Structure 1
Amino acid sequence: MARRPVTLPQLQQKKQHGDPITMLTAWDYLWARLLDAAGVDVILVGDSLGMVALGYSTTLPVTLEQMIHHARAVRRGVTASFVVCDLPFLSYHESPEQALRSAGQLVKEAEVQAVKMEGASPVVCAATQRLVEAGIPVLGHVGLLPQRVHQLGGLRQQGKTEQAAEAILADAIALAQAGAFALILEHIPSELAQRITAKLEIPTIGIGAGPHCDGQVLVTADVLGLTPQAPPFAPVYADLGTQAIAALQQYCHDVRSRIYPPPQP
Structure 2
Amino acid sequence: MGLLDNDVAIVTGGAQGMGAAHARRILEHGARVAITDIRMEQGEAMAAELGENAIFLAHDVTKRDQWDSVIEQTEAKFGPVTVLVNNAGIDVMKPFIDFTEDEFHTLLGVNLFGNFHGMQAILPSMRRAGRGSIVNISSMEGLRPTALNSLYSASKFAVTGLTKAVAQEYAEYGIRVNSVHPGAIWTPGIEAPEIKQVVDAFVDKIPMKRIGDPEEVADLVVFLASNMSSYSTGGAFVSDGGIIAT
* Structure-2-length-normalised TM-score: 0.38
Higher helix proportion, which one?
2
Bigger radius of gyration among the two:
1
TM-score (norm 1): 0.36
Higher relative contact order (CA 8 A, sep 6+): 2
